[in-house]
Chain A
Amino acid sequence: MSNETSVLYEAPGPRAKARDRIFTVVFTLIFVGLLVWAGYTAYSNGIFDDRWAVLWDPPRGQSVSDVWITSILMSGIWGTLKPVLIAIPIALALALALTILRQSPYWIARVPARVVTEVFRGIPVLLIMYFGVIGLNIDPLWAVVLGLVVYNMAVVAEILRAGIAALPSGQKEAGLSIGLSPLQTLLRIQLPQAVRIMLPALISQIVVLLKDSSLGFIIGYSELLKSAKDNYNFFGESTKVVFIFVVAVLYILINMSVSRLATYIEGRMRTKSKTVGGLHVEGKADGPPGGVTATGIGANTRTGDSAL
């Protein structure tokens, strides 16, 4: 990355270096100043008092394991993971079905699949979850699962479609010419390659699922944010800061590790197709002009899009 960006400016000479040094000092001072101000304000608001002891020496007859294991881990983190784990396979299966329908030669199959994808991509997940709770009267857990499944099947179907569109058209033609049916060509030739190209985007989508499961908090499902709320309601107003801080750190750590995984796989795939080159279908030069690079850009923007 530093290589790509450094091209924006000249390799600094003595004057630019001196100027950069001044800017570095100035901005360091500004940011340190802001941090000190935040820290001091927090301090004078009494944030750094004994309220943090609730994390290692909780009052009101609770033990450390009651707070961390029973509440934050079992009810909180597990509550956040559970709907995600349930939703992933269902959403994947439905997305696969939608993808097959969208590649169908018959418009009667293509059009409804397209409509379903566009409609559920354009509706807020929270609205679907509310519909689950109020309209279908289902348990909040299943309302969260419903919201996650409906939205992510549309998004994953869209990711797979983009992956298939990015393949050189020779792949499909080769499949058909050796006598595979269109469905066989799709399942055995196109989809495996599309999944590989779109793997980073698919993994980033897990971050979206994890983040969206927090919408369950609003419809009264018990997940990580709710466990923070339960804790500060139990231990008193002053521990609000403590528990919100703890769940914020947990969320950011979990999501950052998943994001890292996506970046890592993306980087590994890029180097792989570079070194092996001609052996990989994606790396082959005889696709449509710009096909391969367009894949890269498309994959990136999809990642950015889906990471919301």
Chain B
Amino acid sequence: MGALIDNADVVWTAFKMTLWLSVSAGVLSFIWGVMLAAFRVSPIGPLRTFGTVYVNIFRNSPLTLIFLVMLNLAVPVLGLHVGLGVPMAIISLTLYTSTFVCEVVRSGINSVGVGQAEAARSIGLTFFQTLGQIVLPQAFRSVVPPLINVYIAHVKNTSVAAGFAVFELTASAQRLANGNPADVVGVFAGIGLCYLVITIPMGVASQRIERKVAIAR
């Protein structure tokens, strides 16, 4: 641990980077994931097809592969100039995490009783009114605990960026461990603790909400 305390500023910078990746890619994945879920339940065929194909491809690719594709293929194939490092990490994480957000939201939509949507339709609400005022508010309640689990995994997944030139917690563990061979265990335990500081409260929140929702249902 001594090495970590001596290098507290390095660890703090890395910690902020992990937080920044988690939050920025997290927000983007939420927006894109909810859009994908809407695509997948929409009455319009091409949107459904797009949603299904997208989710199946990105859900089944390892995150490392998505990083690798962004790094090596975006420029030569599509001519998209993605900034290396942080912007690339945010885009890759968003492309990946959004598929899980989409699936959680979609199964949440499916978990809302059929009668709810039928009642909404029978009083004359349109598709968007039904979805926006009746189904989604109920779906989000049962969606929150699994969604938090998705985001716990997302926080941990930001570590993949360490392999692609982003200096976040895992990269800092690697650098500090190599610089302080005598204190390797302390460095890794400390960095692990930094992740737990983020992930364990999220897990506790998820369990609390799960219990609350379970009683309400």
Contacts and interface: CB of A to CB of B under 8 A. Distances in A.
Interface of A: 1, 4-5, 7-10, 12, 20, 23-24, 27-28, 30-31, 38, 41-42, 45, 47, 118-119, 121-127, 130-131, 134-135, 207, 210-212, 214-215, 217-218, 225, 228, 240-241, 244-245, 247-248, 251-252, 255-256, 259, 290, 294, 297, 300-301, 304-305, 307-308
A47 B217 contact: no
A126 B159 contact: yes
B185 interface: yes
A24 B64 CA distance: 35
Interface string B171-203: 001100110000011001001100110011001
A83 B195 CA distance: 25
Size category, B interface: 35 or more
B162 to A, nearest CB: 7
Nearest to A80: B62
A305 B146 contact: yes
A38 B174 contact: no
Given A125-B156, A127-B195, 12 more contacts: A8-B130, A27-B44, A119-B196, A124-B156, A124-B157, A130-B177, A131-B177, A134-B188, A240-B72, A251-B60, A252-B57, A305-B153
Contacts of B63: 211, 214
Interface stretch (B5-13, B84-92, B109-117): B109-117
B56 interface: yes
Interface string B116-158: 0110010000010011000100000010011001101110111
Interface string B55-89: 01101111111001100110011110000000000
Nearest to A254: B60
8 contacts: A24-B46, A47-B76, A121-B199, A214-B65, A255-B61, A259-B60, A301-B146, A304-B146
A4 B107 CA distance: 10
B35 interface: no
Given A134-B177, A244-B69, A123 B192 contact: yes
Given A4-B110, A124-B156, A225-B65, A45 B135 contact: no
A217 B45 CA distance: 38
A87 to B, nearest CB: 15
A217 B64 contact: yes
A123 to B, nearest CB: 5
B55 to A, nearest CB: 11
B30 to A, nearest CB: 15
Given A240-B73, A308-B100, A118 B62 contact: no
Nearest to B195: A123
A98 B16 CA distance: 34
Q: Specify the main secondary structure of chain B where it touches its partner.
A: helix
A281 B162 CA distance: 47
A24 B214 contact: no
Contact of B77 (A4, A42, A218): A42
Nearest to B104: A304
Contacts of A240: 72-73, 76
Contact of A218 (B61, B146, B162): B162
B160 interface: yes
B170 interface: yes
Given A8-B131, A127-B192, A214 B64 contact: yes
A130 B188 contact: yes
A41 B110 contact: no
B47 interface: yes
B193 to A, nearest CB: 9
A301 B77 contact: no
Contacts of A42: 77-78
A215 B160 contact: yes
Contact of A8 (B117, B142, B162): B117
B118 to A, nearest CB: 6
A31 B59 contact: no
B148 to A, nearest CB: 9
Contacts of B159: 124-127
B103 A130 contact: no
Q: Which of A47, A248, A251 counts the most B-chain CB atoms under 10 A from its CB?
A: A248
B76 A45 contact: yes
A248 B118 contact: no
Contact of A134 (B152, B153, B157, B178): B178
Interface string B32-63: 00000000010111110110000011011111
A263 B57 CA distance: 16
B73 A130 contact: no
B203 A304 contact: no
A209 to B, nearest CB: 11
A20 B127 CA distance: 12
Contacts of B118: 7
